[in-house]
Chain A
Amino acid sequence: MTDRDMETDHLPENTGGAGHGAVTTVAEDPFQDPGLPAHRPRVTDLDPRAAKRAERQVALLFMIAVVGVIGSMVCYTFVPNTKVHRFTGLGTVNMNNLALGLCLGFAFLALGCGAIHWARTLMTDVDLVQERHPMKSDPESTAFAVSEFKQGVADSGFTKYPLIRRSLLTAMMVLPLPAVWLLRDLGPMPKDALRHTLWAPGMKLVNPNTGQPLRVSDVTVGTLALANPANLNDDPDERIDNLAKAAVLVVRLPQEALKGSEAQKKKQWDWSVDGVMAFSKICTHVGCPVALYEQQTHHMLCPCHQSTFDLSDDGKVIFGPAARSLPQLPITVDADGNLVAVSDFREPVGPSFWERG
């Protein structure tokens, strides 16, 4: 739409309005701009002693800054970094940090306050008026610039040789592609990595702190145990990446606590050892480890976004933004009575992704 199509009558300048723009209607207009008020002198403008006092105040502030800066270096050197002290309201404080912060903080504050005090008391406070000019170029500059540009374009032959023009534009269009293409080696293709964890048939569940295999007797109703796959430390380079997918939590539920359809209850019980069952610790929302276990209700809460899973109902989401149940890891016992995995998880753990399906 061009300016010509638009109604401009509604713009205040054209409606007459209160007519402030037109200062020419003098005495007629009680709302007119009375102009800049007369300057009111400050005490320091009138009284030389006040000005002298202000000078001393500014100088004092600047000297405080000097003291603070030197003090900070003294503190850096002599206040031990290891000394801590407990202050009410501040908690335990590193004394070196406190001393440095106070010295430099007050030094900067004094320097700043000195400069501002100087400006406010002793520098001019008489308002100056400068004109504004429209940002738009004047017609002469516009005409000159346009003709210069046209001359430049004409000299280049950019419009005269379409083949050059088009091939150049094509070249410019393909030019940015390598900026993306050459980044290919940033990472490997995901393939099916998100679908697999370290869990495999017969893999022992071990206590993350002691490294000891977990046994059925270690888990009673109401306790929450954590477990890692026994081979987690085999590849130190990949340990954390593997842990991010394989971490499980182990709880024990009485059979009568299970909810849901018969098929679901049967599955959940079959994948457990006498009610000792393992669930993925990785939230199906965005991947935080779920951590808060409510023993009575068997609810598992993720502290990040409060997704709540009911472990007695096959890990179903009962509140919060997570969409999918916590995956259960099928487990059994080996000949020595240690808990071991029956297989890997039967579905991908952790956050959803496009290819998950």
Chain B
Amino acid sequence: MSATTAPGAGAAGQYDDVKTDPVSSWADERLGIYKGSKNLIRKVFPDHWSFLLGEIALFSFILILLSGVFLTLWFNPSMGEVEYHGSYLPLDGVSMSQAYASTLNISFDVRAGLLMRQVHHWAALIFIMAIMVHMLRIFFTGAFRKPREINWLIGFTLMVLGLLEGFAGYSLPDDLLSGTGLRIASGVILSIPIVGTYVSYFLFGGNFPGHDFIPRLFTIHVLLIPALIVGLVTAHLILVFVQKHTQWAGPGKTNDNVVGLPLLPVYTAKAGGFMFVIFGVVFLLAGLVQINPIWAYGPYTPDQISAGSQPDWYIGFLEGSLRMMPNWEWNIWGHTLSFNVLIPSLIVPGILFTALAVWPFLEQWITGDKREHHILDRPRNRPTRTAFGVGGITFYGVLWLAGGNDLIATHFHLSVEALTWTFRVLIFLGPVIAFWCTKRIALGLQRRDKDKVLHGRETGIIKVSLEGEFTEVHEPLSAGERYRLTAHEVQKPLELGPATDENGVERPGNRALKLRAKASEAMFSDHVETTVEEYKEIEAGHGHH
């Protein structure tokens, strides 16, 4: 056991022989560092590979900040036109914005400039990927449950900010690809009913593309959103410290303790080391694998485009959403409602993100469970949640694939029309199939766990009896493994009492309660339960195989 209890007031002189170094004491007398850190130094963190996903996001963000500062030293966020006369000869004499020219300058004339650009871009791609996978880990293991709902919302906000920040970042160089992305964004803004045209004119400072947008976006990209992200990441981490990390069920691990290794030295070394591993991987990528070669795209001009234009991966789902939408547009009373743009680019992601944000609250309402949870769920033990998650991933995945329908079509020699229609069907069918399959698989895995607990592990040893019967030898599980597989709660559906009380008065909130009971029934009625009684019966019946 480590010292979790603070030393109380001992007898005078008890601590006289405690040596403190003068620098720390100087700081302590001004900041109180000893009392502030006494419970932090040996704070315990549980160990599991899946807990590293959030760290990947954090460390790649640090790299983004550092490389971003480097880039700002040379990047010129101006849409003023210049004629290029730098080292990159194919574009010599071409008229372009200063933003694009300075990005070429960073890429070709500033030593380490290309490296930092590529570090910045690779780290950004990894950052958002890590956030999303981390978020899925939290979702599938139920780590968002009380008391961590607020941290879920903070993380969700960070994800949205990450998407915006990424889009803002790759729009800044003002190359043909990024300008096309902004053109699409401006078209989306124009589709907003009533205010769209005004919002567009205010954002772009007039007609698209105008002269104001890149300087404005620059401030948003290097100041506003990073400040928000830094603030929220800080809050996110403070909450992880205060609420302590969740852990997997296992021998010795309960809902009331946290089992793992201490911050100093083990976690400091492991997390610090992991940070440098992430840095190393990103630098190797930046050195070896070219990303966003803006010189190959040319400067942005609104009358040019290249076939196979693709956004960065995390915008792909919006692109796909736009691509697969049928061309519905209404004209009513002299006004245009562009459902073909409005629905895929604002409403669909709006629904997707809202569902993600409110899930913890929705689930808590269905279960009626107001207790704190610190032991993670194995996804199989929450089949309906897992199935919803996989359904959601499938929905997102179909959108994302549809964003590359032209590349899929040219690569596999398919008709882009047939592909688009396939995606239009799959967007509805895919999540349903995925939901159903996932639920069956999860329940199947529950049954396998039950089988393992009751009958033991398959050893692969086949015995032949004298009668010629073949049987496989099963080995009973260790007590620890048995505990690990049975430690989860088996959630029972909510059962409603009589709808009216003894006086015939209807129970208040009856309809909401009925809805809840239905949701609860759908979510929990088919969970597989392994009881002690079953185990004992088998033990008593025929002992070990």
Contact = CB atoms under 8 A, between A and B. Distances in A.
Interface of A: 1, 3, 5-13, 15, 17-20, 28-37, 76, 81-82, 90-91, 93-94, 96-102, 104-120, 123-125, 127-132, 134-135, 183, 186-190, 193-194, 208, 226, 228, 236-245, 247, 281-282, 285-289, 291-292, 303-307, 317, 319-324, 350-357
Contacts of B287: 97-102, 104-105
B427 to A, nearest CB: 14
A356 B288 CA distance: 49
Nearest to A15: B492
Given A97-B287, A129-B44, A286 B302 contact: no
A281 B37 CA distance: 65
A306 B276 contact: no
B184 A304 contact: yes
B288 A317 contact: no
A106 B322 contact: no
B209 to A, nearest CB: 6
A10 B180 contact: no
Nearest to A320: B327
B507 interface: yes
Given A132-B256, A241-B209, A108 B277 contact: yes
Interface stretch (B106-114, B127-135, B163-171, B354-362): B106-114
A128 B327 contact: no
A241 B212 CA distance: 12
A221 to B, nearest CB: 23
A109 B280 contact: yes
B280 A132 contact: no
Lowest 9 A-B CB distances belong to which pairs?
A101-B287, A286-B187, A36-B252, A115-B273, A112-B276, A109-B280, A323-B329, A105-B284, A108-B280
Given A111-B273, A132-B258, A244-B209, A190 B302 contact: no
B269 interface: yes
Given A7-B494, A289-B304, A18 B486 contact: yes
Contacts of A305: 319, 322-323
Nearest to B485: A31
B111 A76 contact: yes
B1 A97 contact: no
B350 to A, nearest CB: 18
A116 B108 contact: no
Contacts, number: 407
B191 A36 contact: no
Interface in B451-494: 453, 479-480, 482-483, 486-487, 489-494
Nearest to A351: B187
Contacts of B272: 112, 115
Nearest to B482: A31
Between B283, B329, B406, the greatest number of chain A beta carbons within 10 A of the residue's beta carbon is seen for B283
A12 B375 CA distance: 15
B280 to A, nearest CB: 3
Contact of A287 (B186, B197, B206, B277): B186
Contact of A109 (B111, B114, B281, B338): B281
A128 B180 CA distance: 55
17 contacts: A11-B369, A11-B492, A18-B486, A31-B482, A102-B287, A108-B277, A123-B269, A127-B252, A288-B180, A304-B184, A306-B416, A307-B327, A321-B323, A321-B326, A352-B329, A352-B341, A354-B337
Contacts of B493: 10
A288 B183 contact: yes
B336 A353 contact: yes
B114 A97 contact: yes
Interface stretch (B19-27, B230-238, B306-314, B392-400): B306-314
B385 interface: no
Give the size category of B's interface with A.
Answer: 35 or more
B190 A351 contact: yes
B315 interface: no
Contacts of B531: 17-18
Interface in B247-271: 251-262, 265-266, 269-270
Nearest to A119: B269
A129 B279 CA distance: 32
A1 B368 CA distance: 11
B208 interface: yes
Interface in B413-470: 416-417, 420, 453
A222 to B, nearest CB: 19
Contacts of A98: 287-288
B197 A115 contact: no
Given A5-B507, A31-B482, A189-B198, A112 B532 contact: no
A281 B303 contact: yes
Contacts of B10: none
B99 interface: no
Interface string B282-319: 11111111100000000001111111110000000001
A354 B324 CA distance: 22
A66 to B, nearest CB: 13
Interface in B135-150: 147
A34 B202 contact: no
B532 A29 contact: yes
Given A97-B115, A186-B203, A130 B341 contact: no
B543 interface: no
Contacts of B1: 128-130
A189 B191 CA distance: 17
A282 B374 CA distance: 55
B184 A288 contact: yes
A35 B108 CA distance: 61
A99 B495 CA distance: 67
A322 B327 contact: yes
Interface string B218-252: 00000000000000000000000011100000011
B207 A241 contact: yes
Contacts of A247: 302-303
Scoring B147, B183, B186, B324 by chain A CB atoms within 10 A of each residue's CB, the highest score goes to B183
B496 interface: yes
B284 A352 contact: no
Contacts of B210: 187, 241
B204 interface: yes
B483 A31 contact: yes
B276 A115 contact: yes
Interface in B36-50: 42-44
Contacts of B518: none
Contact of A119 (B195, B270, B508): B270
A3 B200 CA distance: 48
Contacts of A317: 327
Given A33-B487, A115-B276, A287-B186, A354 B197 contact: yes
A116 B273 contact: yes
Nearest to A14: B492
B384 interface: no
A175 B285 CA distance: 49
Contacts of A105: 280-287
Given A13-B489, A97-B115, A187-B201, A33 B280 contact: no
Contact of B207 (A124, A193, A208): A193
A310 to B, nearest CB: 13
Given A82-B87, A109-B284, A286-B191, 4 more contacts: A112-B279, A127-B252, A188-B201, A285-B187
B497 interface: yes
B108 A81 contact: yes
A135 B252 contact: no
B536 interface: yes
B483 A101 contact: no
Contacts of A128: 1-2, 42, 44, 259-262
A324 to B, nearest CB: 7
A352 B269 contact: no
A18 B283 contact: no
Nearest to B270: A119
A94 B288 CA distance: 10
Contacts of B262: 124, 128
A218 B103 CA distance: 38
B368 A6 contact: yes
